[in-house]
Structure 1
């Protein structure tokens, strides 16, 4: 019996995209509005959040598809805070409950980053620099910088579809 091998081209192995990390303290909907205003795009909230760990963690995501340039823009939160109640028994007359807030990160390598802007298209360096400059001009943004996706350990978390 003959053995057939299929060899995939390298172009299909890696997704070509630009990843921008944004550090700010405002809510996700306010940041999406300000990015829309400063970059002239139309990010809108997706119907469902990114869900990891069977509903234990979820990350808000905003998306816009630029049909003219065949580009998808995604703004995703990096931080998920969940509250849980833990029963603590101190060998006393009263059982007590303790509220615990657990913080998880979409990309744990960048814990100081609040949001990621992922652009599914390869831009040249001048276009990427222009986008970074426009985001950094937003008064509520502390800083924004570009990240090399190939250097991330948890880059699989950036696959949204």
Structure 2
């Protein structure tokens, strides 16, 4: 009996996107405002944050759907700090809990990156360089550069919808 094998690689191609890492120390709403001003876009805070690790980590996200090019822009915070209560290791008569701050990362491979700007459209090199050059003109931003999304181990965390 013949064995038939289905190859589904052609059906499940990844949607092209551009990923830009941004280093800056400003708050997320301030960065969204600055990007809106310089790039002439309209990022708005989504009603709910990205929730990973069953509510232990929430990452703020801003989104704008570009009607002209039919692309979606997302600005997402890479760092989430949350306070967790943990029982103290002391042997005492009374139970005591101590507050510990844990840090979670959306993309753990890039722990130094503060924000990611994901554009659900692949730009050619000139357009991508123009966007990064415009971002670098913002005085509050230390640096920004393009990241190849295919090289990321945790690229599934970049699926926002």
Could you state the TM-score of these two structures normalised by the residue count of structure 1? 0.91
Between the aligned partners of 1:69 and 1:82, the Cα distance in structure 2 is 37
Between the aligned partners of 1:84 and 1:127, the Cα distance in structure 2 is 43
- State the 4+ residue runs in structure 1 displaced beyond 6 angstroms: none
* Number of equivalences: 160
Question: Deviation per CA, 1:126-145, whole angstroms, max 9, x where unpaired?
Answer: 11001101111111111101
Between the aligned partners of 1:95 and 1:7, the Cα distance in structure 2 is 56
Following superposition, the deviation at residue 67 of structure 1 comes to: 1.1
Give unpaired runs (5+ residues) of structure 2. none
Match of 2:106 in 1: 106
Following superposition, the deviation at residue 119 of structure 1 comes to: 0.4
* Alignment of 1:125 onto 2:125: yes
Match of 1:62 in 2: 62
Superposition RMSD on alpha carbons, in Å?
2.0
Following superposition, the deviation at residue 93 of structure 1 comes to: 5.6
How do 1:128-147 and structure 2 match up within 5 A?
Answer: 128-147=128-147
Question: Deviation per CA, 1:1-22, whole angstroms, max 9, x where unpaired?
Answer: xx79474526x41220100000
Match of 1:87 in 2: 87
Between the aligned partners of 1:109 and 1:154, the Cα distance in structure 2 is 8
Deviates more, 1:25-34 or 1:90-99: 90-99
Q: Aligned with 1:14: secondary structure?
A: coil
Could you state the TM-score of these two structures normalised by the residue count of structure 2? 0.91
Question: Deviation per CA, 1:90-114, whole angstroms, max 9, x where unpaired?
Answer: 2346554321000010000000001
Match of 2:35 in 1: 35
Between the aligned partners of 1:89 and 1:109, the Cα distance in structure 2 is 32
Between the aligned partners of 1:93 and 1:58, the Cα distance in structure 2 is 36
